[in-house]
Chain A
Amino acid sequence: MKRTGIFSMLLISLIVSLAGCGRTETKKADVVIWHWMTDRKKAFNELAKRYQAESGRQVEFKLFAPSEIYSQKVRAATQAGTLPDIYGILGEKKDFAIFVKAGHVLNLNTEMSDNIHEWRNKFFSKALIVNEFEPNNEFGAPAGIYGVPIDVTNIQMLYNKDLFKKAGLDPESPPQTFSEFITAGKKLKKAGTQGLVSGWAETWMIDCLASNFAFNIMGEKKVMRTYAGEVPYTDPDWIRVFSLFKEMADSGVLASGIVSMNNKDAEQNFANGRAAFAFNGSWCVNVYKGMNPDLNYAAMFVPRVSDEYPMLIWGGAGSSFMVNARSENKEKAVEFLKWLTDEKQQAYLAQDTNNLPANKYSLTNISPLLSQFAQTMENTTHPNIWPRHEKSVVIEAFDIGIQSIILGTKTPEEVAREVQEVKEREMAK
């Protein structure tokens, strides 16, 4: 009897909960935005309030984190036709192209070009390229600008000023050239300090630094010709790129265990003063602030190896928003994005979230460190905007090869030969 009573109560509570928690219709906002940026949640909500106060329009930011789940939600919503007015597409450019070709993203060419490119000219040029498809692009997407960058990012080097002082180096003049970098690393080692830390267990970071050096040594054209199969990896310039890693390893500039270090550990090491140099993205400003608010450091451009070609570092749009081409509120959505990327709002976002603003005219109000990062935006490049791309198996062989050089198990020449063999196998397919 007692059991029957308990079971009946549970059953009733199940029915009541199922019946009671139905879909409650609330007033829909004028513009709904889906995003994944946890660290920008507060700032976005504040901006939505300000926009409503200025324009009377209600904008609702909806956060879905982590980003992997967010991406799945966006994909599912495309199938059901329930995408919001504004959203972001994560992943590579080929994924972006799929959305564009399926008609889920509004072409913003007209809006960007209005009033003699008024909107377009506000952005760092590199920030827009990532969101743009050129005519006859390799993805087959119709030409146009399909995304609005809300911040930018780039990857360069950081150095610890206190450790520099301790090693007798001038904290206000970091190394500019590769040989100066090696000399500084040796001095730091003598003073008992580890040199460079970076998350080189995550091979894309090795790839990033290696391509910085490659662009500087042989120029973009030759790098692209290599990807096209016209220049072999056994070319002296590529062997020079591989040799730089050997030089760093041999001179003791690299922190011990760097090839098995993930970026989180590397960040921790740099933040706690256990290494003098770090190779990291502009997002690190936020990371180091959380780990050690008193860290005395500055950014420095990746030391150049040659004066023949410019050193180009990886960078471009950090996060971008796209307008749903099928949205009934697309005009309102575009209006909001114009407001969001205006100087005032961009400066607020940068100050509150420590991300680099996409609007190049909003740099006056940001911290000196962020400003250092922002000043190099015109010297950035990114695989997403390259006309040619290397095959993933070749990239894998390339990165693992560099790890082997650092570990001392292979020579630069051996790695060059191995990478070229993989490349030839891929080309033959």
Chain B
Amino acid sequence: MNHKRNDIKYKVRRFSSGAMVNLFLLLIAISCLFPLLWMFGSSLKTQATVFSDMSIIPKVLHWGNYYRAWTEGNFGVYFLNSVLYTVSVVIGIVLVSSLAAYAFSRLQFPGKNFFFYMFLAAMMIPLPGSFVPLYVLMDKLHLRNTPHGYILCLINVGLSLSIFLLKTFFDKMPTDLEDAARIDGCSKLGIWWNVALPLAKPALAVIVIFNSLNVWNEYILALILFDDAKFMPLQVGLATFHGEFVTQYHLLMAGVTITVIPILLIYIFMQKHIVKGLTAGAIVG
């Protein structure tokens, strides 16, 4: 009898503590989802009802806002530009940072620490602080107002943190596998390609997602470097709806909803790797 009572007590306690945790997580999830819901709801309202209709989903749905946002914001051109910039920059960062981080971790060369700390120091310089020198440099190199100039700048921006993350990862990686590969006749580049990179997949996933997000949301450098609208990324299209005194919230929210979709997809497809990447140290060990 006593045993049964204890069992019920235990089950009730477990259920109630589980319910509390779930309720807490539910509240967190709602607080995270609410801005997205508000964004989506506002994207289906008119400019006037954004301020007067407080319901999340309005009674009359204005799907035409999406068409207007796409055409008035010139999203057709900007969307392709953003895809091109994001893909190019992320490939560039993954290639350069993995090679550099592997070299910093495994190779011995003069000034190794100096160069590594210089990369780290670059992380401390905020991008707006370098606008004017970057603009002048790009102009002198005839790379201003060119997509490849912009791509190179963004690769440079993303390198510091990526090298730091990967070097930390490679430092923790056991050398036994590399020794085995060396006995099998692998060159240094071969070890990087066949051993280091496959093991670094979780860290690379974090670098991909982090830099994709950065590049996808970037528009300040684009506005500084580009003179021609045809090169601008998607986020610049959003600024069209944000006037000096008047913001067209319904179109802005429709535009933001469009721009959020690709990033949401990347998260959904890569979430397994992102979680792994965050616990990367344990996996390497």
Residues of A at the B interface (CB closer than 8 Å) are 3-4, 10-11, 13-14, 17-19, 21-23, 26, 36-39, 41, 62-67, 69-70, 72-73, 75-77, 79-80, 82, 268, 271-272, 281, 283-284, 286-287, 290-293
Contacts of B92 in A (CB 8 A): 14
Q: Please pick, from B132, B146, B227, the residue contacting A62 in the complex, using a CB distance under 8 A.
A: B227
Residues of B at the A interface (CB closer than 8 Å) are 47-48, 51-52, 84, 87-88, 91-92, 95, 128, 131-132, 135-136, 139-140, 142, 144-148, 151, 193, 198, 220, 223-224, 227-229, 231, 239-246, 248
- Which secondary structure dominates chain A's binding surface? helix
- Can you list 24 A-B contacts with CB-CB less than 8 angstroms, sorted by A residue number? A3-B198, A11-B91, A14-B92, A17-B88, A18-B88, A21-B231, A22-B146, A23-B142, A23-B145, A38-B244, A41-B240, A64-B223, A66-B242, A67-B244, A73-B135, A73-B224, A77-B135, A80-B139, A271-B51, A281-B245, A284-B245, A286-B243, A290-B248, A291-B51
The reply to whether A292 and B52 contact each other, CB–CB distance below 8 Å, is: yes
Please, how many angstroms separate the alpha-carbon atoms of A17 and B82 in the complex? 12
CB distance from A167 to the nearest CB of B (A): 22
Please, how many angstroms separate the alpha-carbon atoms of A249 and B190 in the complex? 77
Contacts of A14 in B (CB 8 A): 87-88, 91-92, 95
The reply to whether A65 and B239 contact each other, CB–CB distance below 8 Å, is: yes
The reply to whether B223 and A292 contact each other, CB–CB distance below 8 Å, is: no
Please, how many angstroms separate the alpha-carbon atoms of A11 and B99 in the complex? 14
Which residue in chain A gives the minimum CB-CB distance to B95?
A: A11
CB distance from B230 to the nearest CB of A (A): 8
Please, how many angstroms separate the alpha-carbon atoms of A72 and B219 in the complex? 13
The reply to whether B246 and A76 contact each other, CB–CB distance below 8 Å, is: no
Contacts of A281 in B (CB 8 A): 245
Please, how many angstroms separate the alpha-carbon atoms of A77 and B48 in the complex? 39
Contacts of A72 in B (CB 8 A): 128, 131-132, 224
**Given A17-B84, A65-B242, are A76 and B223 also a contact pair (CB < 8 Å)?**
no
Contacts of A286 in B (CB 8 A): 243, 245-246
Contacts of A284 in B (CB 8 A): 245
Q: Please pick, from A21, A66, A77, the residue contacting B146 in the complex, using a CB distance under 8 A.
A: A21
Q: Please pick, from A11, A13, A21, A62, the residue contacting B147 in the complex, using a CB distance under 8 A.
A: A21
The reply to whether B239 and A66 contact each other, CB–CB distance below 8 Å, is: yes
Please, how many angstroms separate the alpha-carbon atoms of A66 and B51 in the complex? 23
Contacts of B148 in A (CB 8 A): 17-19, 21-22
The reply to whether B244 and A76 contact each other, CB–CB distance below 8 Å, is: no
Contacts of A268 in B (CB 8 A): 51
CB distance from B169 to the nearest CB of A (A): 18
CB distance from A336 to the nearest CB of B (A): 18
The reply to whether A38 and B52 contact each other, CB–CB distance below 8 Å, is: no
The reply to whether A287 and B244 contact each other, CB–CB distance below 8 Å, is: no
The reply to whether B220 and A69 contact each other, CB–CB distance below 8 Å, is: yes
Which residue in chain B gives the minimum CB-CB distance to A69?
A: B223
The reply to whether B146 and A272 contact each other, CB–CB distance below 8 Å, is: no
Please, how many angstroms separate the alpha-carbon atoms of A79 and B136 in the complex? 7
CB distance from B7 to the nearest CB of A (A): 53
